[in-house]
Chains A and B, each alone.
Chain A
Amino acid sequence: MSYGLTAITVLWTFLFGYLIIASIDFGAGFFSFYSVVTGHENKIHNIIQRYLSPVWEVTNVFLIFFVVGLVGFFPDAAYYYGTALLVPGSLATVLLALRGAYYAYSTYGHHKGHNRLYMGVYGATGLLIPAALSTILAISEGGIIHMDEGKVGISWVNFFMNPYTWSVIVLALVSVLYISAMFLCYYADRAKDRAAFQVVRGYALLWSGPTIAASLLAFFQINRQNPEHFQNMLNMAWMFIASFLCFAAAIYLVYRQKRLGLSFMLVILQFGFAWYGYGRSHLPYILYDQISIYESITSETMAVAMISAFVLGLLVLIPSLVLLLWLFLFNANYVRGQSR
């Protein structure tokens, strides 16, 4: 495997990690806010809070890791995206900032009851951030970033008039709510909290239909946007079929209310197949037609140093993450709220 391919696989995997844990976080923020507004808070608010409190900080690091890795392995890609994305990137940064800060204020600050402003900021950004970040996938299909007299420019008309852009945004919104609800089903079930379980099970079933519809919509919009990419996707159609089968099995298990751990694993597989299928068919381009994984890798010594640092980093990271999950996700007493 070439350095470029190794690097993009590593980065894509971290972005997948971010997709899953950030979706849980973003969706939970929205449900949490929604439950406060509709007065269901006693049912699900506590369980969401108990999960999110120890892990929210880690979520952000996944995103930074991806950005830094992209700059490190593919400086040219960073140059194009960095120049073109000043405005949307800054807006996403501001939203992330407000979200992180207001989460901490509402969780660790001292309040009698819930502060609706803090919860509102938290819930709204939970939907706006995935919408903003997902547009980068649309931009990466090409036709939006262009070179103009040696300067990088971005065509906002092409961006906003493009149905693919909107289908990706819709897909991001509904899948965030779906992933999050499916995870909360599992977590509520482990906590043996029947009331919360019934609420989040409703959410999960509600959002499953729109998720698969939006996936199909985005799938066919790629054909209009970038036929070459679409053809590549058809060549590995089995990955998308596998994704659909995982989806069907996961929803069946939630519907029958059994084996919810397996059900959430299937959700991860569902998005895993789709994510890697999409990514693999996008290769060798990082930005369609302009940046490929072959031309922009850093020098060989740097690539070796980066990959070694990555392996050493994983040796520290994986046990730490396992410890975190073991203490807060798989510890029955903590999940049920019997120990702090």
Chain B
Amino acid sequence: MMSTLDPVLMSRILTAVTLFVHIVLATIGVGIPVMLALAEWRGIRTGDKHYILLARRWARGFVITVAVGVVTGTAIGLQLSLLWPTFMKVAGRAIALPLFMETFAFFVEAIFLGIYLYTWDRFKNKYTHLLLLIPVAIGSSASAVFITSLNAFMNQPQGFELVDGVFTNVNPFLAMFNPATPSKVAHVLASAYTTSAAVLASIAAFSLLRRKDHPYFKKALKLCVISTFVFAMTTILIGDFSGKFLAKFQPEKLAAMEWHFDTMTEAPLIYGGVLDENNDIKYALKIPYALSILAGNRPNTEVIGLNEFPEEERPPLMIHYFFDLKVTNGVLLVLIPLMFMLRKRLPGKKPYPTWLLIGIFALGPSAMVAIWLGWFLAEVGRQPWIVRGYMKVAEAATTSPNVGWMLLLFILLYIVLAVSAVKVLSRLFRSKSAEEEIAQLGWDPEGGRGQ
């Protein structure tokens, strides 16, 4: 029964499920080293040991997420060849370089993270230990850069000639630095930093909501929320570049995202709504000129509509909802931190009002959902192509009849991993509270400036 299911569909679902799990861990893997460095650096510079403890406690949980991230990353690395052998055979000739370099970046990250975790008290100069985070952060960000450039190639392929179904005359650098690479890479990095800061802000807000008012948590909250604000602002700015990129290079994706059917100037932006069978939009919020401004900064920019493309090459129209929800989450990630920064001027005059803490607690999940939506948008929006304009997804998948069973196997694996990781992480943080650890280390509750 399982073996008669369409291997193409099964391969798509299995790849999607693996990436769905991996992207959570990969995002954290890129962003947390930066937050660790920020906390440890602040701790060393101000002599406030609370920040050092913060970095230590984060690192303890981080290593669990890295471990699970390594294994899901290994899974996707092997699945690329197992599920998409034809894609790898043909496109492998053009994309081998970034894939190969990604493993080097991964090597560097793995080596220095191992050293960082085991040398907290080993060096006389406190900055030596902090410096070990630089290769970790560079390694994790560089692997994101390389792997994203590969994905950008699939969206905006260039740097080769297609002769009889074979990529020839490959220029690996043109392929890697295609027009989609800069905006995609920048957006991925900035959103990973935002999400990591937001997840850590959620943890701090959670502790404060449980009526823990130790200064340690307040410092953690402030550091994370302000970082979230800065990174989220950057992400939104880069997102705007991505919109302009799409308008120019991948107009069918932008048009499907916006339910923009007729080519026109002064195009409105559609928010929400539903489509009826004639593709008429109902119940939507229309913002005049906004799409033209998004696409080209001027209200009279011409935006190409979906009707210009043959029906079988149009992306699915549901990506509109992914886009709207993603942007909504992005706006919340700026607004809630902004309210935190202005909290002393808010009515009520309570420094940490419960509603604000609940809002901050929601930042982590909301950022993570935005990451998922963004990837759904990018990947579903590329359908029906695997290499846009050159190879369709259906031609690339494995012909093996057993993909259905493997899908079942991996879903089971990911459920086991997710449940056990959550269990281990929550036990890790509950086993010894930060206050207990501070008391045990004999530090004064204020964190102690200097020694």
Contacts and interface: CB of A to CB of B under 8 A. Distances in A.
Interface of A: 53-55, 57-58, 60-61, 63-65, 67-69, 71-73, 75-76, 78-83, 85-87, 89-94, 96-105, 108-110, 151-152, 298-299, 301-302, 305-306, 309-310, 313, 316-317, 320-321, 323-324, 327-328, 339-340
Given A57-B114, A86-B406, A309-B104, A101 B71 contact: yes
B68 A78 contact: no
A101 B68 contact: yes
B402 A87 contact: yes
A58 B115 contact: no
B64 interface: yes
A316 B74 CA distance: 22
B58 to A, nearest CB: 13
Interface string B429-446: 001100000000000000
Nearest to A324: B111
Interface in B187-230: none
A298 B93 contact: yes
Interface in B54-109: 60, 63-64, 66-68, 70-75, 77-86, 88-90, 92-94, 96-97, 99-104, 106-108
Interface residues of B, number: 78
A327 B116 CA distance: 11
B399 to A, nearest CB: 5
B118 A328 contact: yes
A57 B115 CA distance: 11
17 contacts: A68-B77, A69-B100, A83-B400, A86-B406, A89-B81, A90-B82, A96-B71, A98-B416, A100-B71, A103-B67, A109-B427, A109-B428, A110-B428, A309-B104, A323-B115, A328-B115, A340-B120
Nearest to B89: A79
Given A79-B88, A109-B64, A320-B112, A68 B103 contact: yes
Contacts of B304: none
Which of A76, A97, A339 has the largest number of chain B CB atoms within 10 A? Answer: A97
A58 B106 CA distance: 9
Contacts of A305: 97, 172-173
B107 A320 contact: yes
A226 B354 CA distance: 73
B427 A301 contact: no
Contacts of A60: 70-71, 74, 110
B172 to A, nearest CB: 5
A79 to B, nearest CB: 4
Contacts of A101: 67-68, 71, 417, 420-421
Contacts of A105: 64, 67, 420-421, 424
Interface stretch (B163-171, B310-318, B336-344, B371-379): B163-171
Given A75-B89, A98-B413, A299-B170, A67 B67 contact: no
A276 B370 CA distance: 49
